[in-house]
């Protein structure tokens, strides 16, 4: 039996559900990756970091498969056409791939299934990128959860060894067919090399994971401080599947203590938002709590632009946005602060911020990003209550006490001491001179007054009843 294994957001050849099943059930397995023009056409930045990340990770995957005696065919075109053509060209009887829960991907996969099944090709699809998917964790009455803590408890109750067992791909490796094709250059794909600050591929993921293993015991203490090396930085690798979620959960479970427990909780949030997207796809363009769609956000384009470029006059918010623009990453605490600021201080529609993050984040994931934005905007399923509004100064004083993170990304404020750096507009002209800065010229005055903005936002929510 001849099969084709289609790699998508699962760019690894270890512990890979679809590859394992394809190898186990076939005598010959071809592997393919498609640079999908239907997706690439939506990207506006030629130096998009994600394409560079994928490109390098695909190259590593190809080399790894070749080392195992196989290969990776690489195509550039519309995935629907490329996959159906390739199935015909190779004369395979079956197509294997892992589930993707994004609405666009679901539509694409359904279409491919339909087309190939008409031609008598078997389609085998698998859960791979989450621990529990779709209807696996439901309430007692059989409905989907919409609150995290009971979901997490049910998730933990369901967890057993089989859910996190690695797929031993190497057991059946002899079925791999050594067919590869050259990888198109970034220029041939219509892109250019990006300023990528993250290591790519399975090897990059492994290095980060090994490093995080040394720090996991402190995760709960350090994860909220952006200048500390607290989190794992594995999100982009989870996004593109260069590491297996099962391996991460497995490791977390072997550790005791609050660090590992808190980290496991974050991995469960990831499953939670994928489940929410699957069951409540209206969240893609609407508030989860639809009554909040009624809010007419009065925020201006110029405020939105100031936020995007890190010029709001609130140092922590600006440092966060500059980190995003310069690296493609933003620390979780700062994602919450920056998102809250856009919605609740600038009264800009959360969907605009969500869209900006979607363009810039290396780890952009529709489910997690939408969930995070709706959480911050208080429109989401289990979100921050609308009357709780982050104070950007207090957040700054608490989570970047010494101002180290601000200094890294807002060099204009380098000479401000650790007290003044959170509220530079309060510096007297003499103090500004000592710090070598003129506020309002070298660094902006705050574009809104937080206390005033807060009242406007509370009134907006109050009116929705
Ligand atoms: P760690 O702290 O090491 O966490 C481990 C993993 O758990 C992460 O890699 C991620 O896969 C998962 N995780 C952690 N927190 C969350 C969460 N709140 N929701 C879902 N999964 C989580 N995460 C993304 O992966 N992609 C996004 O597009 C994204 N957009 C966000 C937007 C906003 C407004 C907010 C508030 C959060 C967003 N997050 C997103 C969640 C979180 O900020 C990132 O996952 C985290 O900062 C990535 O860094 P890390 O890998 O070092 O995380």
283: its two tokens: 């969240």
Q: How far is the CA of 337 from the centre of ligand 1 (A)?
A: 14
Please, are residues 40 and 54 in contact by the beta-carbon 8 Å criterion?
no
Q: Which regions of the chain carry the CATH code 3.40.50.620?
A: 2-128
The ranges of the chain annotated as CATH 1.25.40.80 are 129-163+203-279
Mean pLDDT of 141-168: 97
d(CA 323, CA 338): 11
Whether residue 263 is annotated as binding a ligand: the answer is: yes
CATH class name, domain 129-163+203-279: mainly alpha
Residues of the chain with CATH 1.10.579.10: 290-462
Q: How confident is the model at residue 465 (pLDDT cuts 50, 70, 90)?
A: low
CA-nearest residue for atom 48, ligand 1, is 235
Contact residues for 408 (Cβ-Cβ < 8 A; gap 6+):
227, 319
Residue 63 has pLDDT above 90, yes or no: yes
> Is 443 flagged in the annotation as binding?
no
Look at residue 464 and tell me whether its pLDDT is greater than 90.
Answer: no
Q: Please tell me whether residue 3 adopts helix, strand or coil conformation.
A: strand
Please tell me the chain's helix, strand, coil percentages from 3-state DSSP, rounded to the nearest 5. Answer: 55, 10, 40
CATH fold for domain 2-128: Rossmann fold (3.40.50)
Report the residue among 226, 333, 372 best suited for mutation to probe ligand 1: largest number of ligand atoms under 8 A from its CB.
372
Of the candidates 11, 16, 177, the residue with the CA atom closest to the CA atom of residue 86: 177
Token pair recorded at residue 344: 């609740």
Question: What dotted CATH number matches 290-462?
Answer: 1.10.579.10
Question: Is 399 known as a binding-site position?
Answer: no
* Number of the ligand 1 atom closest to the C-alpha atom of 371: 19
Active site residues: 266, 269, 297, 332, 350, 373
* Ligand 1 mean position, distance from CA 157 (Å): 23
Do 20 and 172 form a contact (C-beta atoms < 8 A)? yes
**For 437-462, how does the pLDDT look when each residue is reduced to its tens digit (9 = 90+)?**
999 999 999 999 999 999 999 999 99
Which atom from ligand 1 is nearest to the alpha carbon of 219?
2
pTM more than 0.90: yes
pLDDT band at 380; cut points 50, 70, 90: very high
Q: From the CA of 267, how far away is ligand 1's center (Å)?
A: 9
Percentage of residues of the chain with pLDDT beyond 70: 100
70-96 CB burial, b ≥16 within 10 A, e <16? bbbbbbbebbbebbbebbeebebebbb
Closest residue CA from atom 14 of ligand 1 = 266
Across the chain, mean pLDDT equals 97
Q: What is the pLDDT of residues 407-427, one digit of tens each?
A: 999 999 999 999 999 999 999
CB atoms within 10 A of CB 449: 10
Atom of ligand 1 nearest to the CA of 336: 36
Does ipTM exceed 0.95? yes
- Which tens digit of pLDDT belongs to each residue from 334-355? 999 999 999 999 999 999 999 9
Longest C-alpha distance within the chain, in Å?
Answer: 80
For residue range 308-344, list pLDDT tens digits in order: 999 999 999 999 999 999 999 999 999 999 999 999 9
Distance 313 CA to ligand 1 centre (A): 26
The residue-averaged pLDDT of 66-79 equals 98
Q: Which residues contact 301 (CB under 8 A, 6 or more apart)?
A: none
Q: Which residues line ligand 1 (CB under 6 A)?
A: 223, 231-235, 238-239, 266-267, 269-270, 273, 332, 335-336, 339, 357, 361, 363-365, 368-369, 371-373, 376
386 is in an annotated binding site: no
Decide if 377 contacts 369 (C-beta within 8 A).
no
pLDDT one-digit tens code per residue, 204-260:
999 999 999 999 999 999 999 999 999 999 999 999 999 999 999 999 999 999 999
> How far is C-alpha 237 from the chain's CA centre?
9
Evaluate if residue 109 carries a pLDDT over 70.
Answer: yes
Q: What is the pLDDT of residue 126?
A: 98
Residue 338 CA, closest ligand 1 atom number: 34
Measure 95 CA to ligand 1 centroid, in angstroms.
32
Mean pLDDT of 51-63: 98
């Amino acid at each position: 039996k001849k099969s084709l294994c289609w790699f998508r957001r699962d760019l690894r050849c270890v512990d890979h559900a679809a590859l394992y099943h394809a190898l186990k059930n076939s005598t010959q397995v071809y592997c393919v990756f498609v640079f999908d023009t239907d997706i690439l056409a939506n990207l506006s930045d030629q130096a998009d970091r994600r394409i560079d990340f994928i490109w390098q990770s695909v190259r590593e995957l190809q080399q790894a498969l070749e080392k195992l005696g196989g290969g990776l065919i690489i195509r550039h075109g519309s995935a629907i056409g490329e996959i159906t053509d390739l199935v015909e060209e190779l004369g395979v009887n079956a197509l294997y791939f892992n589930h993707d829960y994004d609405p666009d991907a679901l539509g694409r996969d359904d279409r491919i299934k339909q087309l190939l099944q008409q031609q008598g090709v078997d389609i085998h699809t698998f859960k791979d990128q989450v621990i529990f998917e779709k209807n696996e964790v439901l309430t007692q009455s059989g409905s989907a959860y919409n609150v995290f803590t009971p979901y997490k408890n049910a998730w933990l109750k369901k967890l057993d060894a089989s859910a996190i067992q690695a797929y031993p791909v190497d057991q059946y490796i002899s079925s791999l067919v050594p067919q590869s094709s050259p990888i198109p250059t970034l220029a041939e794909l219509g892109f250019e090399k990006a300023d990528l600050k993250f290591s790519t591929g399975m090897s990059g993921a492994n290095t980060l994971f090994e490093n995080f293993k040394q720090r996991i015991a402190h995760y709960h203490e350090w994860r909220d401080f952006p200048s500390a090396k607290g989190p794992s930085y594995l999100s982009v690798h989870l996004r593109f599947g260069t590491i297996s979620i099962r391996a991460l959960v497995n490791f977390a479970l072997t550790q005791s203590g609050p660090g590992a427990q808190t980290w496991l909780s974050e991995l469960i949030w990831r499953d939670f938002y994928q489940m929410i997207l699957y069951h409540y796809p209206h969240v893609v363009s609407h508030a989860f709590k639809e009554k909040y769609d009624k809010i007419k956000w009065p925020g201006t384009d110029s405020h939105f632009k100031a936020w995007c470029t890190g010029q709001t006059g609130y140092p922590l918010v600006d440092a966060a946005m500059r980190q995003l623009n310069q690296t493609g990453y933003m620390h979780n605490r700062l994602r919450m602060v920056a998102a809250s600021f856009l919605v609740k201080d600038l009264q800009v529609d959360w969907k605009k911020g969500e869209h900006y993050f979607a363009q810039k984040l290396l780890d952009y994931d529709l489910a997690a990003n939408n969930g995070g934005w709706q959480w911050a905007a208080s429109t989401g399923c289990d979100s921050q209550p609308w009357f709780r509004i982050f104070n950007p100064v207090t957040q700054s004083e608490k989570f970047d006490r010494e101002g180290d993170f601000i200094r890294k990304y807002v060099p204009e404020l380098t000479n401000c001491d650790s007290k003044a750096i959170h509220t530079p507009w309060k510096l007297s002209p003499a103090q500004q001179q000592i710090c070598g800065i003129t506020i309002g010229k070298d660094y902006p005055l705050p574009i809104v007054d937080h206390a005033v903005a807060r009242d406007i936002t509370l009134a907006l929510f109050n009116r929705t009843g």
